Amino acid sequence: MSADRLTLARIETLFANHGTDWYGGEAISQTAHALQCAQLAEQAGEPAALVAAALLHDVGHLMLAESSTTDMRHQEAAAQALADLFGADVTEPVRLHVAAKRYLCAVDPAYFATLSPASVHSLALQGGPYDAAQADAFIASPHAEAAVRLRRYDDLAKVVDLPTPALAHYLGIAARCARHA
* pLDDT tens for each residue of 107-118: 998 999 998 888
The residues spanned by each domain of the chain are 8-177
Residue range 44-60: average pLDDT?
Answer: 96
**How sure is the predictor about 45, in pLDDT bands with cuts at 50, 70 and 90?**
very high
pLDDT, residue 2, reads 42
Residue range 29-36: average pLDDT?
Answer: 95
Tell me: pLDDT of 26 over 90. no
What residue type is assigned to position 28 of the chain?
A: I
Could you give phi then psi for residue 22, rounded to 5 degrees?
-65, 145
Tell me: pLDDT of 180 over 80. no
According to DSSP H, which parts of the chain are helical? 8-18, 30-43, 48-56, 59-67, 74-82, 88-107, 111-114, 117-125, 132-140, 144-156, 167-177
Q: How many Å is the Cα radius of gyration of the chain?
A: 15
Count other C-beta atoms under 10 Å from residue 52's C-beta.
30
**How sure is the predictor about 3, in pLDDT bands with cuts at 50, 70 and 90?**
very low
pLDDT, residue 1, reads 36
pLDDT, residue 75, reads 77
Indicate the pTM of the whole model: 0.91
pLDDT, residue 69, reads 55
pLDDT, residue 72, reads 57
Tell me: pLDDT of 6 over 90. no
Homologous superfamily assigned to 8-177: Hypothetical protein af1432 (1.10.3210.10)
Q: Percent of the chain beyond pLDDT 70?
A: 93
For 2, 14, 62, 137, the CA distances from 10, given in Å and listed in that order, are 14, 6, 11, 34
- Rounded CA separation 54/150 (Å): 6
Tell me: pLDDT of 78 over 50. yes
Summarised one tens digit per residue, pLDDT across range 81-117 is: 899 999 999 999 999 998 999 999 999 989 999 988 8
Share the mean pLDDT of the chain: 90
Tell me: pLDDT of 151 over 60. yes
